[in-house]
Structure 1
Amino acid sequence: MALNYHQLHIFYTVAQRGSFSAAAQALHMTQPAVTMQIQSLEDYFGTKLLVRSTKKIDLTEAGQTLLPFARQSVELIRETEQAMSRHTSMLEGRLQLGSSLTIGEYVLPRLLGPFGQRYPHISIVMKVINTTQIIEEIMNHQLNFGLVEAPVQHPDMVSEPVMEDELKLIVPAGHPLSGRKSVTVEEAVHYPFVLREKGSGTRQVMEDEMRRRGVDISQIRTVMELGSTGAVKSAVEAGIGITIISPSSVKHEQALGLLDVLDIEGLSFKRMFYSIHLKSTLLPVPAVTFLTFLREYPQST
């Protein structure tokens, strides 16, 4: 019998999950099948790898020795699939992913067309939901992966940067600042602001950068706080105030001449978008291909 990656992946998942039943659920296998593969691996090495009890599973000394090599094999396969995905065009499959609001409504739609042209046989089903719901559905194997606006700290999740975004100052057409490429922060805070609600990722990025540059947040005269980017855009377009949000969300309004996008001199509101998926589950090749496409597609398009 030869050592194979499948058995190492199962062993790694059992060690991470702490039980055969949890590993079987994560791997979409029956518990007896998982047990059989572990026994085969133990027969191959001629030693016990796991100590089984009614409550939990512990690694033997041999199991602890094997664990880092099993982890490396899982990571190497992931890296291999990512590297090779860009060379494969005749992929087929169905992706089920979750996306947070800004990414799902304003960033991904402009990328799905080019991706579909390059990979016409991959179908995508996307749910636009909040990060908590995305995590829950990934854990329940209802989604392959998710795209979110901040790294996720979860013991069962891998969180990796995928795309960069940068917030800008948005003003309505006809505003005293419109038509300019950039303004000073002192000029910007002279006008009322319409902002996302406190606690939103967009609001956090804005406030963190201003504090980092020594700007007093209390100088900002916030006349309205709204729970969605769409509502913020509408309020700015109506002349209620100006805002700081992603230019990706106002491309249409900018093209129609309804809103202007400006830089604030000395401030850079950059942030990353992240992919999340289960540590114990290898992403299907179409999913790896999609994430590789997002990383490499021109950000300015």
Structure 2
Amino acid sequence: MKSYAHFDITGLHYFSAVAEERSFSRASARLRIAQPAISRKIKALEQDLGVQLFTRHTRGVDLTEPGENLLRNAYALFRQIESLRDHAVTSGDTPRGVVTIGVLPTPGEYIVPRLVEQSRKLYPEIKFRIVEGYSGDLHSMLINQEINIAVMHAPMPHPDIIVHDLLVDYLCLVGKAGTLAKPSYTFAEAAGFPLILPDGPNLLRLHIDQIAQSRNIRLNISHLCNGFWLTKAMIRGGAGHTIVTFGSVVTDLERGDFDVALIGEPNVPWSLAVAMRVDQHRRLSLVVIKGLIETIVAELRSKRIWQQIPQATRLNGETQA
């Protein structure tokens, strides 16, 4: 068997910090390691691999193409090391180890604090690594084994992924408080509002586009924005409207920032689910955390914090059911 005793994991760790910070000095401050020591490790790593990993300039450093490739593989190696450690310490009937969870922005606001609190009481030997992202990104990370569990909308079928539905949400038209006159709109009517929508490979945007194309409806897109928090800020400022799930704007509704109207003709159901890899779905720590997520969402629904019925709409600050 080939020996890897000479390979320096510490140097790889330093390399990833410099790559993330785009600066040796910032990486030094973050790691609390002297900059010359980091520089020596990076130089040794470059000599060992026979490639240049960074290009240096006055503002810091940029990754070269070999550096980009190494960073991707370094992350994969770090995950494998974490997984090896996790499996090594997992024994008996006690859930323990690190669980990496990917969550959507707004569902994460409701689920993650409750999950951490309840897990700390019930399973104190479980630690979390939380990743926030959109459904398409979370799906890819789950397939690539970058996360263990994903809470996401409408997961695409995949042979390596097992999905458990949490609730069925619905697409709504969202605007600044006082801008929507009706509790519901047809899809064609909603498409006529000045819309702020994400660009690129976004599952929700693809779904909206498919509906529009199937009905020969033109979307009145006024702005493209790939940041959900920025989109909501633009809506609060009156820059336009958007189409998202009801659950995505629950916190904003509670503050009275937005009007929300259900989109009908057609109603557009959009499931929220918890997804795991098939080869990990029997792992004890993941089983108990999945169960906690399901319990938390059920509690939110029972308290009507998280509506899922089609007629649940908000008009000028009033909830209708």
Q: Deviation of residue 194 (structure 1)?
A: 0.9
Is residue 225 of structure 2 the alignment partner of residue 251 of structure 1? no
Q: Which has the higher contact order (CA 8 A, sep 6+)?
A: 1
Give the corresponding residue for 1:158. 161
Quick check: 2:101–2:128 contact (8 Å CA) kept in 1?
no
- Find the aligned partners of 2:118 and 2:97 in 1 and give their Cα distance: 15
- Find the aligned partners of 2:277 and 2:255 in 1 and give their Cα distance: 42
Is residue 107 of structure 2 the alignment partner of residue 107 of structure 1? yes
Q: Deviation of residue 258 (structure 1)?
A: 1.6
Is residue 289 of structure 2 the alignment partner of residue 290 of structure 1? yes
Q: Deviation of residue 259 (structure 1)?
A: 0.8
Long gaps (5+) in structure 2? 1-80, 86-92, 306-321
Give the corresponding residue for 1:135. 143
Q: Residues 33-52 of structure 1, C-alpha deviation per residue, up to 9 Å, x if partnerless?
A: xxxxxxxxxxxxxxxxxxxx
- Find the aligned partners of 1:243 and 1:269 in 2 and give their Cα distance: 15
- Find the aligned partners of 1:244 and 1:28 in 2 and give their Cα distance: 42
- TM-score between the two structures when normalised by the length of structure 1: 0.57
- Find the aligned partners of 2:108 and 2:97 in 1 and give their Cα distance: 17
Question: Counterpart of 1:253 in structure 2: which amino acid?
Answer: D
Q: Deviation of residue 172 (structure 1)?
A: 0.8
Q: Residues 173-211 of structure 1, C-alpha deviation per residue, up to 9 Å, x if partnerless?
A: 231x25x32233444333211112142112123233445
Q: Deviation of residue 230 (structure 1)?
A: 1.4
- Find the aligned partners of 2:281 and 2:162 in 1 and give their Cα distance: 14
Question: Counterpart of 2:100 in structure 1: which amino acid?
Answer: L
Q: Deviation of residue 118 (structure 1)?
A: 4.4
Give the corresponding residue for 2:240. 241
Question: Counterpart of 2:106 in structure 1: which amino acid?
Answer: Y
- The alignment's C-alpha RMSD in Å is 3.3
- Find the aligned partners of 1:243 and 1:209 in 2 and give their Cα distance: 15
Provide closer, same or farther for how the CA distance between residues 272 and 252 of structure 1 changes in structure 2, counting only shifts above 3 A.
closer
Q: Deviation of residue 96 (structure 1)?
A: 1.9
Provide closer, same or farther for how the CA distance between residues 264 and 152 of structure 1 changes in structure 2, counting only shifts above 3 A.
closer
Q: Residues 138-174 of structure 1, C-alpha deviation per residue, up to 9 Å, x if partnerless?
A: 4xxxx4333343435555x223133233221101123
Give the corresponding residue for 2:148. 144
Provide closer, same or farther for how the CA distance between residues 221 and 121 of structure 1 changes in structure 2, counting only shifts above 3 A.
same
Within 5 Å, which residues of 2 pair with 1:1-301? 92-100=95-103, 103=104, 105-116=105-116, 118-119=118-119, 120-122=121-123, 123-129=127-133, 130-131=137-138, 132-138=140-146, 143-152=147-156, 157-164=160-167, 165-175=169-179, 177-178=180-181, 180-211=182-213, 214=215, 216-218=216-218, 220-296=219-295, 297-298=297-298, 299=301, 300-301=304-305
Aligned-pair identity in percent equals: 16
Q: Deviation of residue 273 (structure 1)?
A: 3.6
Q: Deviation of residue 243 (structure 1)?
A: 0.9
Provide closer, same or farther for how the CA distance between residues 294 and 205 of structure 1 changes in structure 2, counting only shifts above 3 A.
farther
Quick check: 1:205–1:269 contact (8 Å CA) kept in 2?
no
Q: Deviation of residue 263 (structure 1)?
A: 0.9
Quick check: 1:93–1:121 contact (8 Å CA) kept in 2?
no
Quick check: 2:166–2:274 contact (8 Å CA) kept in 1?
no
Provide closer, same or farther for how the CA distance between residues 290 and 166 of structure 1 changes in structure 2, counting only shifts above 3 A.
farther
Provide closer, same or farther for how the CA distance between residues 189 and 154 of structure 1 changes in structure 2, counting only shifts above 3 A.
closer
Q: Deviation of residue 117 (structure 1)?
A: 5.1
Long gaps (5+) in structure 1? 1-24, 30-89
Provide closer, same or farther for how the CA distance between residues 28 and 153 of structure 1 changes in structure 2, counting only shifts above 3 A.
farther
Quick check: 1:194–1:241 contact (8 Å CA) kept in 2?
yes
Provide closer, same or farther for how the CA distance between residues 208 and 108 of structure 1 changes in structure 2, counting only shifts above 3 A.
same
Give the corresponding residue for 2:31. none
Provide closer, same or farther for how the CA distance between residues 244 and 109 of structure 1 changes in structure 2, counting only shifts above 3 A.
same
- Find the aligned partners of 2:101 and 2:115 in 1 and give their Cα distance: 17
